[in-house]
Structure 1
Amino acid sequence: MNITDHYTFTLSEKVSRQKVTFKNRYGITLSGDLYLPKNTGNEKLPALAISGPFGAVKEQSSGLYANQMAERGFAVVAFDPSFTGESGGEVRNVASSDINTEDFSAAVDFLGLQKNVDRNKIGIIGICGFGGFALNATAVDKRVKAVATTSMYDIPRVAS
């Protein structure tokens, strides 16, 4: 099976995509795809970390959003949160407010280490069930300069 067979969208001709991994502070290895606009030279790019909806993987909605935002000039990491997809963590397919909030901060860590990213222009997009985790991460991580949610279902609030 070709690696591109499991994506639910077509990669833009204006964008490159590469597999990446990084760890959160709980030691869980997260799997992501880094989307970059082509032909940007040495320009420092604004960046975004994107995840969700709950139960989905980076080859679906978050990857589609990442592809679109990279077309618009952002460096973007779409990632599988802990316990989901190619990312680590046991038991599978569960939500943890603490760990999934940290997943976003770990993605911000990863983006901030990229040479072509402007560390003062990093944001988060949380889709559906990961909207609440995106808001939590933004509240505690001052490196995040912007946040957006779409079709938000606030798992952390419901769980509390």
Structure 2
Amino acid sequence: MKTLALTQEWDKTFPKSEKVNHSKVTFENRYGITLAADLYIPQNAKEKLAAIVVCGPYGAVKEQCSGLYAQTMAERGFMTMAFDPSYCGESGGEPRYVSSPDINTEDYSAAIDYLMLREDVDENRIGIIGICGWGGLAISAAVMDTRIKATVSSTMGAFDTYTSEERYEARRQLNEQRTADVKKGYHELAGGVPAELPDDAPQFMKDYRDYYKTSRGYHPRSLNSNGGWQTITSLPFLTFPLMAYADEIKSAVLLIHGEKAYSLGASQEAFKRMKGDNKELMIIPGASHTDLYDRMDIIPFNKIEVFFKNYLEPV
């Protein structure tokens, strides 16, 4: 496993809790990529704990939203892990700043592998949380990995909302960019969230700017806060069946979304595909997409806690 250079100082966008113990850990996925994670353990924990793996939003790092979710759930009695996905943040993987629906789904399973080897984790009580684009990847992980007993998707981002013709055109344009990249000898970056926007910009872009480009959520390793993904990185999502097998998930799923979020349709569509009385869609009145990133007065942590306690009960 590759040795990573990990920052040891507290460089999160949220204050450190005195109720949990924090440490940095690494683990390897089945593609040989070493991933970096923050581990949060409730203070004075004495027995094997239920554990929760957290990632997202898409283009963020563990020092942002996923770490906030992880620390908060650790305060409520769970061992939690927020990780940087392959190719991003402090995690390994070359080239940098790409994503893969296959590899990123595997990232969740690799995190679960790590937790299952810990003597202080109950291997039969592991769940996951995915935020924004990682909400969809969490559903993909819940399909693939039957060790996941409960899944929360928060403010799920939709990767593919195109018609077939729009999808073809998107692939055509991205492959033109791929040709340009190979001729130049390097991969063009798409640029992160703009710091300046016109007055008539969509509200959701203003919401993104107000998170990623301000002291509220800016982080120097975040792609969205800085140069962004490689321009062609979304290409595989145009052919990957992210939700195709959502109806085969037997474990519990809680989908959380804001009523005013531009992305609400993603959770609604996912919920329609699922089967079983252990699936739930919770819509937060008046909430936008980014309100569920860090608004402690809006994120339904009480609901999330009850959900995981119900479905991660000791066997």
Query: What range is the shorter-chain TM-score in?
Result: over 0.9
Q: Which residue of 2 aligns with 1:83?
A: 87
Instruction: Please list every run of 5 or more consecutive structure 1 residues that lacks an aligned counterpart in the other structure.
Output: none
Q: Which has the higher contact order (CA 8 A, sep 6+)?
A: 1
Q: Which residue of 1 aligns with 2:9?
A: 3
Task: State how far apart, in whole Å, the 1-side matches of 2:8 and 2:148 are.
Answer: 35
- Counterparts of 1:5-154 in structure 2 under 5 Å? 6-41=11-46, 43-154=47-158
Asked if 1:159 corresponds to 2:164, the answer is no
Query: What percentage of aligned pairs have identical amino acids?
Result: 58
Task: State how far apart, in whole Å, the 2-side matches of 1:80 and 1:155 are.
Answer: 19
8 Å contact from structure 2 (residues 58, 134) kept in 1: yes
Higher strand share: 1
Read off the aligned partner of 2:151 and give its amino acid letter. Answer: V
8 Å contact from structure 1 (residues 132, 156) kept in 2: no
Q: Report the 3-state secondary structure (helix = DSSP H, G, I; strand = E; otherwise coil) of the residue aligned with 2:26.
A: strand
Please state how far the C-alpha of 1:91 moved relative to its aligned partner: 2.1
Task: State how far apart, in whole Å, the 2-side matches of 1:154 and 1:111 are.
Answer: 29
Task: State how far apart, in whole Å, the 1-side matches of 2:159 and 2:60 are.
Answer: 15
Name the CA shift for 1:70/1:142 in 2 (closer, same or farther; >3 Å).
Answer: same
Task: State how far apart, in whole Å, the 1-side matches of 2:76 and 2:44 are.
Answer: 12
4+ runs of 1 displaced by more than 2 Å? 154-160
Please state how far the C-alpha of 1:155 moved relative to its aligned partner: 3.2
Please state how far the C-alpha of 1:2 moved relative to its aligned partner: 7.0
Larger-gyration structure (1/2): 2
Task: State how far apart, in whole Å, the 2-side matches of 1:31 and 1:104 are.
Answer: 12
Q: Report the 3-state secondary structure (helix = DSSP H, G, I; strand = E; otherwise coil) of the residue aligned with 1:144.
A: coil
Q: Deviations over 1:17-41 (max 9, x none)?
A: 1000000000000000110000012
Q: Deviations over 1:47-74 (max 9, x none)?
A: 0110010111111111000000000110
Task: State how far apart, in whole Å, the 2-side matches of 1:159 and 1:108 are.
Answer: 27
TM-score for the superposition, normalised by structure 2: 0.48
TM-score for the superposition, normalised by structure 1: 0.94
Q: Report the 3-state secondary structure (helix = DSSP H, G, I; strand = E; otherwise coil) of the residue aligned with 2:68.
A: helix
Task: State how far apart, in whole Å, the 1-side matches of 2:79 and 2:114 are.
Answer: 11
Task: State how far apart, in whole Å, the 1-side matches of 2:98 and 2:158 are.
Answer: 15
Q: Report the 3-state secondary structure (helix = DSSP H, G, I; strand = E; otherwise coil) of the residue aligned with 1:134.
A: helix
